[in-house]
Amino acid sequence: MALHNLKDVYQDQLQDLYSACKQSLEATTALGRAATDKELSEALIAGANGITTGMDKLKSLCATHGIDPEGEHCRGMEGLVKEAQAHALDADFGDDATRDAMIITQYQRMVHYALAGYGCLVAFANRLGLDEDAAVLEKQLDETYDGDRRMTAIATEGGVNKKAA
């Protein structure tokens, strides 16, 4: 698809973020299964539920604009998912807490990619005067930030990093 203007970029990035979410959903589910810390496992389940909600919202926005949400493949998230697989799921660890610390690291990298995607889409929707789209995307952005903050708290205040040290 040729990108001629901001609307084209917006639609392309809706599809790209949908692809990113779809890929990260599988990885997040696998990370949740691998986590041994109860609070971390629960947070990853909540994260997977949030990703699913985000995908539903993105799919709905794509339908509003007459585009297929499956129209792009996000290579950026593909790389992050491969990194999560290699560094958190397939790697050998001396103990469970160390694996849990790595799980948080890899999950947050995927989340930060989603934050960038949602943030750009909010800015594009606002510039294009798509107020309803912007409101939906802003809500997803806020919930994604909340999930990221929760992971940071689990790592630091929850004690995963302390146990791994």
pLDDT digits (tens, 9 = 90+) for 101-133: 999 999 999 999 999 999 999 999 999 999 999
pLDDT tens-digit readout, 148-163: 999 999 999 999 999 9
In DSSP notation, 120-165 reads: HHHHHHHHTT-HHHHHHHHHHHHHHHHHHHHHHHHHHTSSHHHHH-
Grouping H, G, I as helix, E, B as strand and the rest as coil, residue 29 is helix
Give yes or no for residue 81 having a pLDDT over 70. Answer: yes
pLDDT tens-digit readout, 9-32: 999 999 999 999 999 999 999 999
* Percentage of the chain lying above the pLDDT 90 cut: 97
- Four-way CATH pick for 6-164: 1.20.58.390, 1.20.1260.10, 3.30.70.20, 3.40.50.970: 1.20.1260.10
Where along the chain do its domains lie? Answer: 6-164
Handedness of CA 52, 71, 120, 63 (dihedral sign): negative
Helix axes of 6-34 and 75-84: crossing angle, nearest 10 degrees: 10
Mean pLDDT (the chain, rounded): 97
Judge if pTM exceeds 0.85. Answer: yes
User: Tokens standing for 114?
Assistant: 């989603």
